[in-house]
Amino acid sequence: MRSTLHPRRPATIAVFLALAAAVSHAASIAPAFLHEDAASWRFVEGDWRLSHGALTQRDASRGSAAILREPAFSDFTLTVDFRIQPEGNGVRAAAIIFRATGTLSYYWLHLDSKYRQVIFTRSTPDNTWIEIARKRVDLRDSVWHTARIEAKGKQFTVAIDGIEAMRAEDAAIAAGRVGLGTSQGAAEFRNLKVEGETTQMSDSLHEEALPYKVISRGTGPSPVSGSYQAFPDACRLRNGDILAVFYAGYGHISLPTPEWPRGGRICMVRSHDEGRTWSEPRILYDDENDNRDPHIAQLSDGTLICSFFSLARAENAAYRMIGCQIARSHDGGETWETTAQTVTDTNWACSAPVREMPDGTLILGVYRERGSDAWGGVIRSTDRGKTWSAPIPIGEGAGLPLDAETDVIRLKDGTLFAALRSSRVHMHYATSPDEGLTWSAVKDIGFPAHAPHLNRLKTGEILMAHRLPETALHVSRDEGRTWEGPYVIDHVIGAYPATVELKDGTVLAVYYEEGEGSAVRALRFRLKRDGIEVLPLR
């Protein structure tokens, strides 16, 4: 609910958060308040401590916010000292919050010491990162810096250490509370001062909820997960659980290092209650290489197959390919094979689950690159995955850059439909009349998309979740002939989304945030005739 604004008070007001040594200066500003009382703050997230006029946030694993409950300001000048600690593996950013009308609705200044930049953003419950302006600034860990924000209507001016850093313009929020925060950083704040026109707002700072749930977050090197988590997939198990798998490492590629001697690994989490709660991450597979891009499927005999590919260090190149691999579990994912089966030569990668046909044939979408050329393909197994065919190409020789991340689905008439990514042109597709033995020429599907994941609902629609724009979805109601969308699931670009139909007919999407300290998210929605409706995970 949007707050109602009342006429501005004619007087100015100042708010202080000062060190004890600076308290005597408060008398020069009238009226003034020392907000040493924790009840004056709304602590949204984080591990906050108020002591001797300083406010400290010590949890470097995620975002946090502390918002003053009163007063609200329209036009104002805010200054605050901040010091970012060299802790955590994320971006290590302090934040200044202003014109907050709710716990997720506000402007905020992202003060990033890792990449030394200031980013002016707006947050809403649907999208916590609406970037307005960005500027390189020499911000350093363990150093006290001073930020100054001046707001006049839709005009904003930001200075760091007395030097103007940026000017920005946005008219979305007219007035609200001020606060402090962090983004994957531990930080201290002192000498908070706000002078300006106060505004009476009819609503208190109302509670707002994110539309998604974080089911695993990168928090730095640990026995299980790293600071970078990505490329998730999920499937429904025969016992009703939902099992999600994802990549965990220290970056987009995590080759072995002294800190990570076995490189990136594959982890998993499990939900017993339709995605509402999730287990702690466990390692599914981890050898001496960078094991990545996992996908999960359960066969009709109960066998779980995790498909992935791996990268190894190379003497004369950044890395070398291992090829597509699979690991199996015969006890519902409690234990897994300790040595993966390599099912293609080193030229091929995969980014899809194994698909089982009605006659028991298994099909896995694969892809490869050679110079500037790239195309997709499938491999087949007719003996429950013991042996696999050579890759059957899709789109080879078409002259298109199909870095394909191929996924396949069976249509109602028995035809196989394959979707193939391209990073430079529209997604393409091809069909097979004979269970993947031969394929048609590739055709333009009509829209850009990466990392397709195909899923048929019980009501017959085919969902294609993908990246671009952001994390999105297309829907086909006519067996892949036409596609409706894109319908945006979430405003993050990491994506690699997968979907699982829930027992009530709604859909659970799992996907990831790009960047250090990244997380795997889950979001529930209902498919409608004209799009999707995001629903609480409850």
Domain 5-201: give its CATH superfamily: Exo-inulinase; domain 1 (2.60.120.560)
∠ at Cα 361 (419, 377), nearest 5°? Answer: 30
For 53-73, b where at least 16 C-beta lie within 10 A, e where not — what string?
A: bbbbbbbbbbbbbbbbeebbb
pLDDT at site 35: 53
**pTM score, two decimals?**
0.83
| Closest listed residue to residue 348, CA positions, set 397, 293, 399 | 293
C-alpha–C-alpha distance, residues 16 and 195, integer Å: 10
Listed residue (456, 403, 479, 407) closest to 436, CA to CA:
407
* DSSP H or E run through 394: strand 392-394
Q: Where are the domains of the chain?
A: 5-201, 213-535
Residue 294's Cβ-count burial label (10 Å; 0-12, 13-18, 19+) is buried
- Would you call 395 helix, strand, or coil by DSSP? coil
- Ordered alpha helix ranges (H), 383-476: none
| pLDDT for position 222 | 54
CA angle at 494 for the pair 490 and 498, rounded to the nearest 5°: 70
Query: Do 302 and 294 touch, CB atoms closer than 8 A?
Result: no
What gap in Å lies between CA 104 and CA 125, rounded to an integer?
5
**Single-letter amino acid, residue 404:** A
**Residue 330 and residue 336: Cα distance in Å, rounded?**
8
Main-chain phi, psi angles of 43, to 5 degrees: -85, 110
CA atoms within 13 A on the CB side of 451: 26
What is the CATH number assigned to the segment(s) 213-535?
A: 2.120.10.10
pLDDT of amino acid 88: 77
Backbone angles phi, psi at 38, to 5 degrees: -60, -25
Angstrom distance (rounded) from CA 399 to CA 498:
29
Sites in the chain below the pLDDT cut of 70: 1-36, 89, 219-223, 516
Predicted local confidence at residue 5, as pLDDT: 30
Whether residue 376 contacts residue 369, with contact meaning beta carbons closer than 8 Å, is answered with no
Burial class (CB within 10 angstroms; exposed 0-12, middle 13-18, buried 19+) of 17: buried
| Spatial separation of the C-alpha atoms in residues 468 and 59, rounded to whole Å | 32
pLDDT of residue 20: 28
- pLDDT given for residue 29 in this prediction: 32
| First vs last C-alpha separation in the chain | 21
d(CA 239, CA 332): 8
Q: Is 448 exposed, middle or buried, given 0-12, 13-18 or 19+ CB atoms closer than 10 A?
A: middle
Whether 321 contacts 344, CB under 8 Å? no
Cβ(215)–Cβ(521) below 8 Å: yes
Q: How far is CA 307 from CA 225, 233, 408, in A?
A: 19, 10, 14
Q: What residues contact 528, with CB distance under 8 A and at least 6 apart?
A: none
Provide the pLDDT for residue 22: 30
**Lookup: tokens for 72:** 């609200």
Torsional class of 531: left (φ above 0), alpha (ψ -120 to 50), beta (otherwise): left
Quote the pLDDT of residue 225.
73
- What pLDDT sits at residue 131? 94
- Return the bridge partners of 181, or none: 65, 95
Per DSSP bridges, beta strands 163-169 and 130-136 are: unpaired
Tell me which amino acid residue 251 is.
Answer: G
Cβ atoms within 10 A of the Cβ of 24, count? 9
The answer to whether the beta carbons of residues 4 and 201 sit under 8 Å apart is yes
Residue 31 has a pLDDT of 30
